[in-house]
């Protein structure tokens, strides 16, 4: 009986050790009001993206020219655009497009960046030089200019916008992963994994990556806001997602000619972009603090 009790106590202690860091992380994150505001907005945006079609007052792609450029009213809360389409409905529909591009582009860039950064940091030598010099070449160009070049080569559209944005952000994740691996690859647990015969890929993805995931998660969270902003910029320039898709940047670009007559056409999509980017930045900053071991007790 005593052995069973001791075993149960040890098991409970082990579980407490595992869950304690997550509890501490959540407590730090929960006390950060700005981060919780950002998280709340992100959750609302996700819900709007998933269930927006049930709350749209009008079809976002159908309009009447007789209703064009109507100011905000009880019939059209945010007014109508130059083709008589309801702006609120188009902003709601554009939420899923912006989140899709932002999250997918970051997921692709993160996956490739982890692989390249891991190979460069773990093996070093000519592998490191080859990979990182190529990353440096990409970083030498402004990301937006590079994205414009890729969009010009690939053509317009949602999928091409995702590809272009993901490519230009790969170097950021590769450098973060490489730097993190360089700082821990000589640790004892890594050397022990080598000594017992684990393969290099197993060491990298089972032992090293889980221990450097915190800065990667933080950067990915902040990267979503950057990807959404880049998508909007491409759409505004006419190189991104094209009409009739209700993408916020494209709405800004289409409405800029009516700025003096109907400023709400530009104002409300701009507010949507600002709130979304701000939400991800606030949550990313809070997550960075929560994942910082110096702040966890």
Among the listed residues 134, 119, 216, 131, the one whose alpha carbon sits nearest the alpha carbon of residue 173: 216
The model's confidence at residue 6, banded by pLDDT at 50, 70 and 90, is: very low
Mean pLDDT along residues 185-197: 76
Q: Is the pLDDT of residue 60 over 50?
A: yes
Among the listed residues 24, 26, 60, the one whose alpha carbon sits nearest the alpha carbon of residue 247: 60
Domain ranges within the chain, ordered by starting residue: 27-59+76-295
**Fold topology of 27-59+76-295:** MetI-like fold (1.10.3720)
CA distance 175 to 170: 9
pLDDT at residue 10 in the model: 45
Query: Alpha carbon of 293 to those of 25, 211, 282, 287, 297: distances in Å?
Result: 9, 12, 19, 12, 8
pLDDT at residue 215 in the model: 83
Q: Is the pLDDT of residue 1 over 70?
A: no
Q: Which two tokens stand for residue 61?
A: 């792609």
**Residues forming a β-bridge with 80:** 86
Using alpha carbons only, give the angle 280, 259, 230 rounded to the nearest 5 degrees: 30
Are 223 and 169 contacting, i.e. CB atoms less than 8 angstroms apart? yes
CA distance 52 to 94: 10
Structure confidence by residue, pLDDT tens digits, 16-54: 444 566 677 778 788 888 889 999 999 999 999 999 889
> Where is 87: in which H helix or E strand?
helix 87-123
pLDDT at residue 292 in the model: 65
Are 223 and 172 contacting, i.e. CB atoms less than 8 angstroms apart? yes
* φ/ψ of residue 147, rounded to 5: -65, -40
Q: Is the pLDDT of residue 15 over 70?
A: no
Structure confidence by residue, pLDDT tens digits, 118-160: 899 888 889 999 999 999 999 888 888 888 888 888 888 888 8
The alpha carbons of the chain give a radius of gyration, in whole angstroms, of 24
The model's confidence at residue 3, banded by pLDDT at 50, 70 and 90, is: very low
Structure confidence by residue, pLDDT tens digits, 62-78: 888 888 888 898 888 99
Q: Is the pLDDT of residue 242 over 60?
A: yes
pLDDT at residue 37 in the model: 94
């Amino acid at each position: 009986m005593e052995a069973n009790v001791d075993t149960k106590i040890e098991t409970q202690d082990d579980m407490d050790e595992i869950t304690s860091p997550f509890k501490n992380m959540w407590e730090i994150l929960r006390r950060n009001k700005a981060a919780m505001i950002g998280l709340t907005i992100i959750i609302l945006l996700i819900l709007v993206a998933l269930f927006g079609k049930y709350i749209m007052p009008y079809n976002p792609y159908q309009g009447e020219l007789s209703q064009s450029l109507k100011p905000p009213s009880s019939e059209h809360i945010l007014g109508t655009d130059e083709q008589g389409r309801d702006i609120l409905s188009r902003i709601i529909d554009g939420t899923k497009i912006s989140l899709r591009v932002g999250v997918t582009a970051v997921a692709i860039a993160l996956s490739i960046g982890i692989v390249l950064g891991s190979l460069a940091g773990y093996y070093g030598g000519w592998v490191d030089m080859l990979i990182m010099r190529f990353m440096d070449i990409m970083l030498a160009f402004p990301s937006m200019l590079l994205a414009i070049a890729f969009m010009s080569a690939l053509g317009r559209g949602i999928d091409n916008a995702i590809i272009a944005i993901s490519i230009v952000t790969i170097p950021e994740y590769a450098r973060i992963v490489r730097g993190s691996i360089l700082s821990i690859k000589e640790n004892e647990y890594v050397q022990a994994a080598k000594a017992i015969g684990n393969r290099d890929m197993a060491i990298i993805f089972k032992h090293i990556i889980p221990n450097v995931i915190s800065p990667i998660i933080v950067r990915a969270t902040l990267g979503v806001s950057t990807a959404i902003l880049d998508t909007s910029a491409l759409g505004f320039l006419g190189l991104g997602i094209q009409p009739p898709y209700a993408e916020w940047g494209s709405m800004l670009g289409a409405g800029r000619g009516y700025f003096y007559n109907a400023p709400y056409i530009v104002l409300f999509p701009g507010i949507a972009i600002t709130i979304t980017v701000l939400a991800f930045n606030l949550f990313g900053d809070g997550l960075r603090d929560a994942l910082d071991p110096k702040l966890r007790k």
